[in-house]
Structure 1
Amino acid sequence: MTQVRRRFVWEIDWNLLRTFTVIVQEGSLTAAGDKLSLSQPTISNALRRLEEHLVCRLIDRSSNYFRITPAGEKLYEECMAMFAIVAGLPELMEKDRNHISGHVDMAFASHVECPFLDAFLADFHKTHPRITFSTTVSSSGSAAEAVLNNEAALGIFLTSEKLDNLEYTLLYREHFGFFCGPGHPLFQRRISSFDEMRRLDYVSFKTDELSGALAPVATLRQQEQIRGKIVGQFTNLEEVKRLIKVGFGFGPLPIHVVAPDVEAGQLWQLPPYTNPPAVDVYLVSKRNTRRTRAQSAFLEALLAAIEATPIKDRTYPQPMGDLAPAEV
């Protein structure tokens, strides 16, 4: 190490790197100040000091403009790698190397329901009881960003676009059906075709489009000329289900997820009763990134369990067949 580099390592305030990371994640100096409970001038001064240390511009900003420079993007990637190393230090200090401890952050799309995953989690916890977990639930796009930015070790969500820096493994497959709620004109009626549905109001997800994660649903709508007014679009499954239940319109929901609602008489399934559209849900991790022992152990074990389990056993609902309810 040269004298200049050695001096840099010893003189830099490492808190500046943490502050810079929060600025990037929050997308503004003001928001970073709120996150860190610091004033905006303090945040600005920290960024200025870091740029002076590195002799380069990290963020181009003005009163109405904020853009991370290429140098800033590179520094952010290195900061996240350093934080991952620091997070793993307690594990490295453990005396008992046979027992792994640590924490695993995960990013999920709303209402991930997968019996295969639940069984895996139960078995993994018995083997590694000292590993803890936390999950952030958001849209699939936000979950992908969290994994890409090393804010989550892995994500579980739907996707229509696979990013080069992320690794995608099919976790499970779920089938979507169309449902309506009490008060809807088709509630508790078994209809044989899409004819009565084509002009009715519709509630769905923002990804229910031909280029979205719910493309199979959008394709079915196009094929059957379902063109009713879209009265609500959401990223969260619970909100889609809420508006369907209260009678805004009919819409798509994962069949196995809403089975209890159907049983309770709060939802009613509409066509198609056979061969409903299938949507894949992926386990997503970042390529070429440093992980803690806990993160590595969890990801490796889950990938091995997926590899050992045929997709038919990770497909819901099981078994498929005639799903039509009897008319009341």
Structure 2
Amino acid sequence: MEPADANERGFFMRNERFLREFDWNLIFIFQVILEAGGITAASQRLLRTQPSVSNALNRLETSLGHRLIHRTRGTFELTDYGRLFHEEALRVLRGVERISDLAGDASRLNGMVRIQIANHLDCPVLNNALEVFHERQPQVKLEIESAPSGIIIDNVRHGRATIGFCILNKPQSGLSCHHLSSGNMGFYCGRRHPLFGRENLTLDDLDEHNYISYESDHLEAGLDAVARIGLGNRFRDNRIASSASDEEVLRLIEAGIGFGPLNVSMGTLYVNAGRLWPLPPYEHLPVVNNYLITSPHNRLTLEEISFVEVVEATLETALED
């Protein structure tokens, strides 16, 4: 199998002999010596004789061609080279621990998966994935935070979050964006609104009424499809209230303050309950696109990797159906 690129090919050709002949166990012994604070304490922890541990340190220094530790009576400290080597050794050990995690039994996962989800995201793929993941990993805890799509994008991009579910108008550069599903938004009014119960309305009938919207309802955000017939178009001057939350937009609509957009799946439930009334447009409703976003620069835990894999598998199943 050929290396992926010229840089990788050069690395292996330049260091192949060292990598083949180096005793990697010496790095582990070196770390134990530092953590234990000396040869004697390290030998007790490793269940080895003191001369054996001392010899391992000597072999490591010989392999590297540098003294790593100043060893005199009552003195035990790293040399300048030793400090540099220690930093690299920690990276190696953490990488090996990571490999160990990946090679472990996935059924033992018991950590935490933290997810940020857009306030107004309606995504059956995500709902199904949560169900499947919990069935497979019942010990893993889930922590979900709601936020506007723009904030989630910024959090994932800067490492404040690792997994986000957003409404986007297009994939974001520098992020891994997986399109999960599309949904529709519709306009609704409450029982206290003068348009409630009226049929065969047109957009012209909405012009004189107050408009309620989401904070992200503008042309640059994921709800730009709504904005093009809403705030971004003819209702700009009629905006009377806004919120980032579905529940609060619903509250404002039901209070009769104005009309506003909701996911059709959510709005239909309240229409059937007699609490909302659908408004135009009745056809060709605004489409919003739901995405899973991660960043290649953020390191995911094994629990998070497992969750993302479940989401992707659920998406594949949905596409096949």
Question: What is the CA deviation profile of residues 53-111 of structure 1, one whole-angstrom value per residue up to 9, with x for unaligned ones?
Answer: xxxxxxxxxxxxxxxxxxxxxxxxxxxxx9xx79x98x849975553332211011114
Which residue in 1 is equivalent to 2:284? 275
Q: CA deviation at 1:224?
A: 7.5
Q: CA deviation at 1:149?
A: 3.3
Which residue in 1 is equivalent to 2:189? 180
Distance in 1, matches of 2:135 and 2:248, equals 35
Distance in 1, matches of 2:233 and 2:173, equals 35
Q: CA deviation at 1:270?
A: 0.4
Question: What is the CA deviation profile of residues 254-278 of structure 1, one whole-angstrom value per residue up to 9, with x for unaligned ones?
Answer: 1102222222222111011111111
Say which of 179, 187, 191 aligns to 2:200.
191
Q: Name the one with the larger helix percent.
A: 2
Q: How well do the aligned residues superpose, as a CA RMSD in angstroms?
A: 3.1
3-state SS of 1:310 partner: helix
State how many pairs are aligned.
238
Q: CA deviation at 1:135?
A: 0.8
Distance in 2, matches of 1:298 and 1:257, equals 26
1:152-167 matches, cutoff 5 A: 152-160=161-169, 162-167=171-176
Question: What is the CA deviation profile of residues 189-211 of structure 1, one whole-angstrom value per residue up to 9, with x for unaligned ones?
Answer: 11332221112110101222222
Output the amino acid matched with 2:201: S
Distance in 2, matches of 1:281 and 1:220, equals 20
Compared CA separation, residues 268 and 6, structure 1 to 2 (3 A): farther
2:151 paired with 1:142? yes
Which residue in 2 is equivalent to 1:292? 301
3-state SS of 2:266 partner: coil
Say which of 213, 217, 223 aligns to 2:226.
217
3-state SS of 2:196 partner: coil
TM-score by length of 2: 0.65
Deviates more, 1:285-294 or 1:269-278: 285-294
Compared CA separation, residues 189 and 172, structure 1 to 2 (3 A): same
Distance in 2, matches of 1:4 and 1:94, equals 35
Distance in 1, matches of 2:189 and 2:107, equals 52
Say which of 254, 258, 273 aligns to 1:264.
273
TM-score by length of 1: 0.63
Q: CA deviation at 1:300?
A: 1.7
Compared CA separation, residues 163 and 194, structure 1 to 2 (3 A): closer
Output the amino acid matched with 2:222: A
Question: What is the CA deviation profile of residues 94-136 of structure 1, one whole-angstrom value per residue up to 9, with x for unaligned ones?
Answer: 9755533322110111143333322222122222222221111
Output the amino acid matched with 2:267: V
2:168 paired with 1:168? no
Say which of 97, 102, 113 aligns to 2:111.
102
Q: Is the Cα–Cα contact under 8 Å of residues 148 and 166 in structure 1 kept in the other structure? A: yes
Q: Is the Cα–Cα contact under 8 Å of residues 206 and 235 in structure 1 kept in the other structure? A: yes
Output the amino acid matched with 1:190: E
Q: Is the Cα–Cα contact under 8 Å of residues 104 and 153 in structure 1 kept in the other structure? A: no
3-state SS of 1:260 partner: helix
Which of these two proteins has the greater Rg computed from alpha carbons?
2
Distance in 1, matches of 2:249 and 2:297, equals 37
**Percentage identity across paired residues of the two chains:** 29
Which residue in 2 is equivalent to 1:4? 80
Output the amino acid matched with 2:200: I
Say which of 237, 241, 244 aligns to 1:235.
244
Unaligned runs of 5+ in 2: 1-63, 69-78
